Amino acid sequence: MTTFAPAQTVASGTQTHALSTARIRNAMTIDVEDYFQVSAFANHISRDSWPGLECRVEANIDRILAILAAGNVTATFFTLGWIAERYPAMVRRIVASGHELASHGYGHLRASDQSRAEFTDDISRSKALLEDIGGQAVLGYRAPSFSIGARNLWALDALLETGYRYSSSIYPIRHDHYGMPDAPRFAFYPNGKDGLLEVPITTVRLMQRNLPAGGGGYFRLLPYAASRWLMQRVNRDDRQSAIFYFHPWEIDPGQPRQNDIGMKTRFRHYVNLARMEGRIKALTRDFEWDRMDRIFLKPASAGN
């Protein structure tokens, strides 16, 4: 079983990638899934209905690729195998544009809802599928809904055993659906430097707690200036790369609306969708960005 000390007691040699350059490269990441696949809709939209629903992911990804190209940004696309199977040409466009192809699992099942055997099958299947379509090694994985935490750290061992080099699946915050607040805030090796590298989504330490600062609904909710300040603080004070993530459906205010969801879920999913594209464009101007593998893995192991 993989274990590690709480963040506040981790030895300095355990945390990695402290940076000293004036202009730090941050990691831009996209979780490639469609609007009907989000975990918050799982009790409202059955998996059996997915094939018959309007898919909007391909058009949204093409918009994202154009935004990144205009900003001269390369990124990492954590892609569902379910999506890749149906849109292989889209996956190839991602790779042809110079971006890293990584795994988001096959069917957006939370790691915490699977047995070890089921999880191993899921991550193996998605890795093989993405590599076959994209024609490049898939080294990174992100669990749907950041669903690796204290109760299923064995998932990190399973990732290493199936050929992954890094994960970005632990979010060191308190949240009603996920989070491991005692995990290190920055990239670390849970089992030492010969093991899997875990790269958490960015947080800022304020008032003795970790505050989310790396995208998602928080980025849409907060004023852009506040999010920019939080990431700048990580670059300036912590001397670390920020890890930012978003989803293709977040730039799509025209997506079909779900009417049978609770007020809290509705707010989280739909707040400020119309502003998201402009904010992503602003990020491409305000920060330096690159792929996860280029920032966090040694060049000889980056799969390029």
- Domain 25-298 maps to which CATH number in 3.30.1490.20, 3.20.20.370, 2.60.40.10, 3.40.220.10? 3.20.20.370
CA 118 to chain centre: 21
CA atoms within 13 A on the CB side of 101: 28
Compute CA distances 169 → 105, 139, 163, 180, 202, whole Å.
11, 14, 16, 10, 12
Classify strands 209-212 and 243-246 as parallel, antiparallel or unpaired. unpaired
CA 263 to chain centre: 25
- Predicted TM-score of the model (pTM): 0.90
Question: CA 284 to CA 100: how far, in whole Å?
Answer: 17
DSSP 228: H
Q: Give, for all 304 residues of the chain, the pLDDT tens digit.
A: 444 533 332 333 334 444 444 589 999 999 999 999 998 898 889 999 999 999 999 999 999 999 999 999 999 999 999 999 999 999 999 999 999 999 999 999 999 999 999 999 999 999 999 999 999 999 999 999 999 988 899 999 999 999 999 999 998 877 556 558 888 999 999 877 778 999 999 999 988 888 889 998 889 999 999 999 999 999 999 999 999 999 999 999 999 999 888 888 888 898 999 999 999 999 999 999 999 999 999 765 444 4
- What residues does each domain of the chain span? 25-298
What count of other Cβ atoms lies within 10 Å of the Cβ of residue 177?
13
Contact 26, 288 (CB under 8 A): yes
CA 137 to chain centre: 18
